Chains A and B, each alone.
Chain A
Amino acid sequence: MGRKKVVVVGAGVVGASIARVLSQYNELDVYLLEKNADAGMGVSKANTAIIHPGHEDDPKKYPLRAKLCVKGNRLWHQWVKELGIPAKFPGELMIAVEEEDLKVAKHYLELARKNGVPGVRLVDNEELRKLEPNVNPNAAGALWAPTAGVMASPMAAPALVENAVTNGVKFLPETEVRGIKIEKGEVKGVETNRGFIDADLIINAAGLYSDKISKMAGIDYFTIRPRKGQYYVFDDDATPKVTRILHQTPTPMTKGVYVITEMNDGLMIGPTAEDLPEDAKEDTSTTKEGLDFVWEWAQKLVKELPPKNKVIRTFAGLRPEPPDGRWIIEAYDDPWGFINAAGIRSPGLTGAPAIAYYIVEELIQKKLDIKLTKKSHWNPYRRAFWFKHLPPEKQNELIQKNPSYGNVVCMCREITEGEIVDVIKRMKNMGVQTITLDGIKMRTGAMAGTCQGSYCRIRIARIIARETGIPLWEVSLKGKGTEYGIGDVKVLLRENGGDKNAE
C-alpha cells in the first residue's frame, strides 16, 4: 500500500480534530485546507461553548449523534488538558420551568440511560436551588447532568491545528477547493486557488459548504442549510452569574436558550434557532427580534439577568443543518477515497474528537481497509500559559528574560505584548500566512473584554505590523478585504484632491 496522502477540507473544529487524529499514524501525509485566513473562523468561532453530556439525542433517530456526543464529552476532558484550552466541568441543569415540563425531563433521563451518560438524575426545586443559587426559584425541578462542561471554544480549532502541525500535518490556509479530480471511480486530488493537490483520500469537513464540496465529488444527495443562533455576552464583572450550565426542557417551539458563565467569567445567554435560506451562509448578522427572544427566554431560567448596560457583545453564529438532522459521516465506494463529515450541527463541538476517531477507525481502517500503525513519537501536547495566571515570581522571571511580558496591552483581559508576540510566532509556525486581529482574539481573548478593543485594538495592530513587516493599515481583521485602514492619512487628498463634503 505504501504512504497515503490525505486532504482534509476545512479547518474548523471537526476538520482540525480529524487532522490531529490522523497525525497519530505513520502511513499518512495529511494536508489540512482552509479557505479562510486561519483555523476556526467559520462555524466553530461562534457557539455556546458547551461540552454536552450526550442525553439530548435519541439514539433511534440520531445514532451517530447520540454515540459520538457521549464519547466526545469524555475525549474533551483529556483533550482540553493536552491542548491547553481553558475549560471547566460545572455540570448542566435542564430546567423544568413549569410542572408539566418534568415529563419532558423524564424523557431525557431515559435517553441518558440509553446513551450511557453517567450521573444524570432528576432534582427537585429545593436541590435545584442549592445546585444553582441564581436559578428561577419557581422552577419545578431539573435534570442534572454532571459531566457537562464549558470550554474556550474559539481557541479550539487553532489549538488543534497547532498540535496537528507539530505532528507533521501541513496546514494550508487561504486555500479554497474549486474542484475534485476523480479517475476510474477513485479520488486523485483537489483543484484549489493555489493549484492542484494530489490526494488518495479526501475528507470533507467544510461546515456550511460541505454540500458544495460533496457535489464536486459527485455526491449530491443533501444540502446544508444555515441555522442561526444569536447570543449576548456580559462583562466579566456583571452579576448575577451562574455556576452551572442552565437551559430549559426543549419544547416543540425551541430547543431552548442556555445561560452559562463562559471561560472569561462573563455570563453568556443564547442561542436562537433560526432556519435561514440555503444561500444565506454568510449571514451572521444579529437582529433585534432574535436578541429579544434570547433575553425573554433566558429570564425564565434565572432570578435575574445582569443589567443590559453590562452587555459587552452580541453575536450570531451559524450551524450547518443537514436535511433530517443526521450527521453525514460516510465513506463511499464511488468515488473511492471520498469521506464526508458533513452537516455537523449541534452537538458538533462536543462530538468532534469522537467524529475524528470514528472516521479513522470505522471508515478508513475498517470500511476502506487501509492498514495504519500508530507513531511511537506522537506529541499530544500544546504548551500554553496565561501570564495573568502565573505566580508573581514566575511572572518576574519571564519579564527579566523578556521585558515585553511586562507590557500589558489589553487592559480588560490583561494580555501582554509578550503573549501576543508569542501567539504571532505560533501562528507563523502553524502555517498562517495572514496574521489577523481575529486570530489574536481567538487565541488570547484580547480585544474581547469590557472595552471590546476600543483601547487595545490599535496597539495589537501595531504589534502585528511590526512583527510581520506590513504597513499598519494593511493589518486585517479576518483576512483579505477586512483591512484596518485604507492607506496613510493623506491618501484621499492625493486621490481626489479635496473636500468631498464641499462638492
Chain B
Amino acid sequence: MQNDYDVVVIGGGPAGLAAAIKAKELGLKVLLLENRETLGGVPLQCIHPGFGLHYFKEDLTGTEFIYRFIHKFLDMGIEHYTGAHVVSIEPYSDLEKRLRVVTSKGVLDITTTTLIYATGARERHPFEIGLTGHRPAGVYTAGEAQTMMDIDGIMPGKEIVIVGSGDVGLIMARRFALEGAHVKAVIEIMPYPGGLTRNIVQCLQDFGIPLYLSHAVTRIEGTKRVEKVIVTKVDENLKPIPGTEKEIECDTVVIAAGLVPYLKVLERVGVIIDPATRGPVVNEYLETSIPGVFVAGNALVINDLVDYVVEQGELAAESAYLYVQNKGIPTKKWKKLVKGKNIRLAVPHYLSGDNDVVIYARVQKPEENVKLRFPEINKEIKLPFVKPAEMIRIKLRKEDIAKAEDKITMEVVPNE
C-alpha cells in the first residue's frame, strides 16, 4: 500500500510554502493544506517593510515577500487545497500518518509518510494576560486590528491604547497613527521594550507615541464600548503596585501581548511540548516526538524574522526527504541542548553531531557586553548586547557538536 503523499504540509504561510517548494524541488510527492481562503498566511496583512533582508537581500513588505513564494509555489504546480481544515491526525505508524480534512470539496481522508506542521501561531488574548473588568466592544488583538485595517479596509476606533510593546504592538501603533487615530499609550509590563530598537524609533518616537515601561493594564471599563483602561505600575515581580493606578480614556484596546504556537490538533495526539517555547520538542531535523512529524515556523517557536521561518520550513522539507529516503531518521546518540544562565528558550532541543545546526534562542533579560558560551565544546561568541526581543540565531558546526558527550549547555556570561 502506497501512501497518497510523501509529505503533507499543513499551513500555507511562509514556513509552509517554503517547505512545500523545497520538498517538491527534492522530488517528493507533496500536498499543502491551507485553512484560509487564500495562500500566504499572516504576511499578507503586513504592509510594512522589513521582510526578506536576509533571504532576498532586499527590503520588502510582508505582502511583497510572500507573493514571491506564492508565485513560485503556483508556478511549480504543487497540489494544494485552500479552505481546508485538518480535523484530526492519526500517527498510525512511523511510515503512515492519516489525516482527516474538511474542505469545500468534501471530507478527505489522506495518508502520508511524513507531515510538516507549519500552522503558525495564535495571539494571546485579554483573558490570558490577567485583564479584568468589562468585556465591551472595542477590544481587539493586534492581528485582528491589522486584518481589519489592511485586508478589509475598516477602522477599529479613534483613541487607542496598545497593550504590549513587541514588534506587533509597535507596528500597529504606527499603523493607527498613520490613519489619523490618537494612540494614547503603549503599555509594557517589562522594564524594557519588547520589540526591536528600530521599531521603537520608527513606530513610537517618530510619531510622538508615549511608551510606559513597567506598567500593566489591569482593567477595562465600559459597558457597551470601551470607555477607559486602568493602568498600574508594576514591581520587579510584575505585580501591580497599589496606589499607582491611573486612568486612560480610550475607545479601543489593542492586545499585542505575544504569540503562542497553535498546535491544537497535534497536541491532541500527545506531541511533547516544551513549556518555554510552547511549541513541540524537536531534534535537529525539526522532528517532533512523533516520528515523521516535523514542525517549522511560528508553530515551532515564535520568530522575529520571516527569514528564519522560511529557513525552518526548508530544513523541515529536507528532513522529510531524508525520512522518506531512509524510511525514518537514522538512529543516533542524541545530545541534549541544555539552557544555562540567562537562556529562556532554545531550539532544537537535541543535536547529533552529524550535521551543522542553526540554534534559535532567546535570553531571559537584557545584558550588555556578554559572551555566549557552550562550555562542553569550548565555544564562545562575544556579543555587544543580548535582549529578549531579539532572537539569537547561531550556527554550530558538526565537528564542534560532536565533541560533546551527552549534553551541550548554552549560557550567557559577562565578557571579562
A420 at the interface (CB under 8 A from B): no
A482 to B134, CA, bound (A): 13
In the bound assembly, the distance between CA atoms of A412 and B153 in angstroms comes to 26
State A481–B226 Cα separation when bound (angstroms).
10
Is A276 on the interface with B (CB-CB < 8 A)? no
Contact A501 B154 (CB under 8 A): no
A287 within 8 A of B: yes
Q: How far is the CA of A497 from the CA of B148 in the complex (A)?
A: 21
CB of B84 to closest CB in A, whole Å: 8
Q: Which residues of chain A have C-beta atoms less than 8 A from B148's C-beta? A: 458, 472, 484-485
The answer on a CB contact under 8 Å between A502 and B102 is no
Residues 124 to 182 of chain B near chain A (Cβ within 8 Å):
125-128, 130, 132-137, 141, 143-144, 147-149, 152-158, 177-182
Pick from A315, A412, A499: contact of B207, CB under 8 Å: A499
Q: Which residue of B lies closest to A416 (CB)?
A: B102
Most buried by A among B105, B135, B141: B135
Q: Is the CB of A486 within 8 A of B152?
A: no
Specify which of B102, B134, B218, B225 lies most central, judged by the most chain A CB atoms within 10 Å of its CB.
B102
Give chain A nearest CB distance to B194 CB in angstroms: 18
State the Cβ distance, B32 to closest chain A Cβ, in Å: 17
- Interface flag for A1 (CB, 8 Å): no
Interface majority SS on B: helix, strand, loop or mixed? mixed
Interface string of A457-482 (1 = CB under 8 A from B): 11000100000000111001110011
On whether A408 and B155 interact (CB within 8 A), knowing A489-B179, A501-B207, the answer reads no
Q: How far is B141's CA from A494's CA once the two chains are assembled, in angstroms? A: 25
CB of B113 to closest CB in A, whole Å: 23
Q: Is the CB of B128 within 8 A of A309?
A: yes
* A396 at the binding interface (Cβ < 8 Å): yes
Return the chain B residue nearest A390 by Cβ: B107
B177 contacts across to A, CB distance below 8 A: 499-501
A452 CB-CB contact with B under 8 Å: yes
A473 and B154 contact, CB distance less than 8 A: yes
- Taking the complex as formed, is B268 at the interface, i.e. its CB lies under 8 A from any CB of chain A? yes
A314 to B134, CA, bound (A): 10
Docked-complex contact B85 and A411, CB < 8 angstroms = yes
B336 contacts chain A at the CB level, 8 A cutoff: no
Q: Are A458 and B179 in contact (CB under 8 A)?
A: no
Partner of A458, one of B136, B144, B182: B144
B221: nearest chain-A partner, CB-CB: A285
Interface flag for A395 (CB, 8 Å):
yes
Residue B104 interfacial (CB < 8 Å): yes
Q: How far is the CB of B111 from chain A (nearest CB, A)?
A: 15
Shortest distance from the beta carbon of A439 to any chain B beta carbon, whole Å: 14
**Roughly how many angstroms separate A496 CA and B87 CA in the complex, as a whole number?**
48
Interface centre among A388, A395, A407 (most CB of B within 10 A): A407
Interchain CB contact under 8 A, B141 and A392: no
B-binding segment of A181-189, A376-384, A398-406: A398-406
Contacts of B136 in A (CB 8 A): 477, 482
Interchain CA distance A482-B105 in the complex, whole Å = 36
Q: Complex formed: what's the CA distance from A313 to B125 in Å?
A: 9
Check: A332 CB closer than 8 A to any chain B CB.
no
Nearest CB on B from A393, distance (A): 8
Q: In the complex, which of the residues B35, B104, B135 contacts A315, with contact meaning CB atoms closer than 8 Å?
A: B135
Contacts of A315 in B (CB 8 A): 135
A314 and B127 form a contact (CB under 8 A):
yes
Closest A-chain residue to B134, C-beta based?
Answer: A285
Interface residues on A, range: 35 or more
Contacts of A285 in B (CB 8 A): 132-134, 219, 221
List residues of chain A with CB within 8 A of the CB of B157: 485-486
45-73 of chain A: CB within 8 A of chain B: none
B156/A408 in contact, CB under 8 A: no
Contacting pair B264 A412 (CB below 8 A): yes
Contact B123 A454 (CB under 8 A): yes
Give the shortest distance, in Å, between B254 (CB) and chain A (any CB). Answer: 11
Known: A406-B105, A478-B137, A482-B225. A454 touches B143 (CB 8 A): yes
CB distance from A482 to the nearest CB of B (A): 4
Q: Is A200 an interface residue (CB 8 A)?
A: no
In Å, the complex CA distance between A462 and B104 comes to 18
A254–B218 CA distance with the chains assembled, in angstroms: 26
**B contacts, CB < 8 Å to A:** 35, 37, 83, 85, 87, 100, 102-107, 109, 122-123, 125-128, 130, 132-137, 141, 143-144, 147-149, 152-158, 177-183, 207-209, 218-219, 221, 223-225, 262, 264, 267-268
**30 A-B contacts (beta carbon < 8 Å):** A286-B133, A313-B127, A314-B127, A388-B87, A395-B107, A399-B102, A399-B106, A400-B106, A406-B103, A406-B107, A411-B85, A412-B264, A414-B85, A416-B102, A455-B122, A477-B137, A478-B137, A481-B225, A482-B137, A482-B224, A484-B137, A484-B154, A485-B154, A492-B155, A493-B179, A493-B180, A500-B177, A500-B180, A501-B182, A501-B207
> Which 4 A-B residue pairings sit nearest by Cβ, starting from the closest?
A408-B85, A492-B180, A500-B182, A406-B104
